[in-house]
Structure 1
């Protein structure tokens, strides 16, 4: 333990330093982390990083999925649910099927069940990598929402494929009737359990006398409870975390105060950053150990690399084909949507862009490492080291090839900004702020008209909201003024909540303004 702890602390420090370096180089930090981990793994004397396969899902997936569900706009997901749904389920299944057929045909003794297992592992793209890459290029908010929504749901669909493939490999058979019933329970049961547990936690936040620190501490354990309880009932823990996270995200203004929301944002951002960084480092650190396992089985490294290249090409081609198939289906069955989404040159460029955003990452690694060393019968799990090697190489190649070229493609395809007809963010912000000022002014006039006249403090309020000037002296903020000010802030939150119902307004802009209101309320408390 004393030897491992300094190494783990060094990993966290390396994540921070490499992220800063990646920002300076204007490339996605997962790429540098993977390469750095691979290089560091060749340093002699370092401890071998190994994670218990039974714990890999439980350690990393719940918080990563919970934060993703908490951050995404459910309103935007509903707007593009057809595209998100097709990519999250149909494209994942088509990709897994393609990998299964190709590997079954070209890799000796590689069964269809093993092919589906590998397909379930490598089929879901990684949202972290895409988000890190698109940070340096301008991309429409709707496009990023589609990618985020897809990554949130395809994690669940791919891991369901993974689970059924594991059963087929272990038993040597696949019962379709049982599988269908089990699939329905995993989906419905997982989502239902997640919602029930999330509702219970929301009530706990409301009833218990929590402060900001205890609220944030509770949010850190909530995804683990959702995942664990769902798994105990043999439902999908992934869907439980996703559904519960979406529910709690929608209720954040109800059960968390401004201090809890501000602290939670900072804590979760750092926590997820460290988790992601460690996982991407592990990807690089673990590759030499997997190579050693291949050699012990007698599989030539050149052969394993050729299989990995074959699977990587299959994944890229299958995703691009699926993207164009989704476009064709939209043109045929939803022409009204197609007229808004695919116009002119974008009808050819949009599916290519969506198809090229297929970098693999955390979920694929977690699934691969979760493969047990032996079957229930005690026999060695067939081709485990080869599956791990292929997964590692697929992650590495997609990050390097697609990750490094995606910003260039986005810049070259500048016309993609015309794909989604949305109002300018700056204009939306301007109108929203103007509406907020008018709303506050009317509340003051209608509710506190008598108190405004002849009262210096109340007149200061009016001047503040009418002219938006900052007072240099906070002595006017007496207790009564604070009460009114807090009430005005809550009134603005209600106004923004109603404004968010407008489908033309990006929810991210609303959330940014709500965060500003939280900061104002906390500043008020220290006056």
Structure 2
């Protein structure tokens, strides 16, 4: 159901050129798919998930305007946060603590069962990835197995069960208990697992680059503070010049090291190429956001016309999305 409805919506979405109409279409697809699924006697929640996967991967293509993509992504990010909040609140209202305590052994068995299922899916499937794409390191496979944290979708599926279904309360309690154990057990220990697998370590190149940046940032901040002390009369000029020269040596050294790093050719970077590109992308993103801020301020102050600002903002949004896609 989700596959068919998601695919049939793509041609309609491609003909829309207004972000608000595109947004309303996605809402209609989500609500309509759920209702059709329920009417046909299948899981409406699963149908919506599949429709979202089809629509998001095929409909929301690079041909979609930047403004439409930003509005859609922002809206659904906020919507998912809101829905998650209400689902957890509803589960809290539905659960009986006495029933939960009585079903605790079954909850632990359910957790064990889905972890075994995770083992049987993650490792065999990812072992075959090497035939189609780059192989995924074993450490990342361990993380994918342990990161099997359950959340709101599991609880939404349980809450969507018919109220006349025998044992519905027990099933909801079982699902809630599994989610609770998953969030508390796996969720709280996941950072420790990431550290043990050494997946969050900073490369030597990035560490050295950030050392230079820290040196430059702190030295310039101290120079700015010295300027203020001199202008306020707290610091005499002779002392100011002596202290400023000491910081200027640090600034010059850090600037020279960073300049040499950024002036390297991509072929000379070897293992640090990823750090180099990610750092440049972060800088480009900040510059593009600064340009957007100036344009919005100019529009607010009536310095520039709305037509000019909207056109430039659209171009900047496309460049930001290109950075995200890369």
Q: Give the TM-score of the pair, scaled to structure 1.
A: 0.38
Superposed displacement of residue 394, structure 1? 0.8
Aligned residues of 1:227 and 1:240 also touching (Cα < 8 A) = no
- 8 A Cα contact 1:198 1:248, kept in partner: yes
Alignment partner of 1:247: what SS?
helix
| Match 2:134 to one of 319, 337, 342 | 337
Contact 2:151–2:179 (Cα < 8 Å) also in 1: yes
Structure-2 change in CA distance of 1:261 and 1:223 (3 Å):
same
2:80 to 264, 272, 292: 272
Structure 2 CA distance for aligned equivalents of residues 202 and 328 of structure 1: 37
Cα distance change of structure 1 residues 230 and 247 upon mapping to structure 2, 3 Å threshold = farther
1:68-79 to 2 correspondences below 5 Å = none
| CA spacing shift, 1:488–1:328, aligned 2, 3 Å | closer
Supply the distance in 1 between the matched residues of 2:140 and 2:275 (Cα, whole angstroms): 21
The correspondence of residues 67-466 of structure 1 with structure 2, limited to 5 A, is: 186=1, 190-203=2-15, 205-206=16-17, 216-229=23-36, 236-250=47-61, 253-254=64-65, 258=67, 264-288=72-96, 291=99, 302=102, 304-330=103-129, 334=131, 337-338=134-135, 341-342=136-137, 347=138, 349-374=139-164, 381=166, 383-415=167-199, 424=274, 427-428=277-278, 430=280
Could you tell me how far 1:392 is from its partner in structure 2?
A: 1.6
Given that 1:226 and 1:237 are in contact with CA atoms closer than 8 Å, whether structure 2 keeps it comes out as yes
Q: Distance in 2 between matches of 1:399 and 1:355?
A: 14
State the shift of 1:389 in Å: 2.4
Deviations 1:159-198 (A, max 9, x none): xxxxxxxxxxxxxxxxxxxxxxxxxxx5xxx323212124
- Does structure 1 retain, via aligned residues, the 8 Å contact 2:123–2:141? yes
In structure 2, distance between residues paired with 1:268 and 1:408: 31
CA contact (8 A) 1:226 1:241 kept: no
Task: Give the whole-Å Cα distance in 1 for the aligned partners of 2:303 and 2:76.
Answer: 33
Q: Contact conserved, 2:6 with 2:54, CA < 8 A, in 1?
A: yes
Residue 198 of structure 1 contacts residue 245 of structure 1 at CA under 8 Å; is this kept in 2?
Answer: no
Look up the match of 1:9.
none
Distance 2:122 2:59 in 1: 32
Whether contact under 8 Å (2:298, 2:304) holds in the other structure is: no
Determine if contact 1:320/1:351 at 8 Å carries over to the other structure: no
| Separation of aligned partners in 1, 2:57 and 2:133 | 29
Which 5+ residue runs of structure 1 have no aligned equivalent?
Answer: 1-185, 295-300, 376-380, 438-464, 501-506, 511-527
Q: 1:309·1:394 contact (CA, 8 Å) conserved in 2? A: yes
Q: Is the 8 Å Cα contact of residues 308 and 394 (structure 1) preserved in structure 2?
A: yes
Cα RMSD over matched residues?
4.8
Q: Retained in 2: the 8 A contact 1:368–1:387? A: yes
The alpha carbon displacement at 1:202 in A equals: 4.4
| Distance in 2 of aligned mates of 1:425 and 1:509 | 17
TM-superposed CA distance for 1:288, in Å, is 0.9
* 8 A Cα contact 2:23 2:71, kept in partner: yes
CA distance in 2, matches of 1:251, 1:226: 24
TM-score by length of 2: 0.57
Deviation at 1:493, TM superposition (A): 6.6
Aligned to 2:239: none
SS in 1 for 2:277: helix
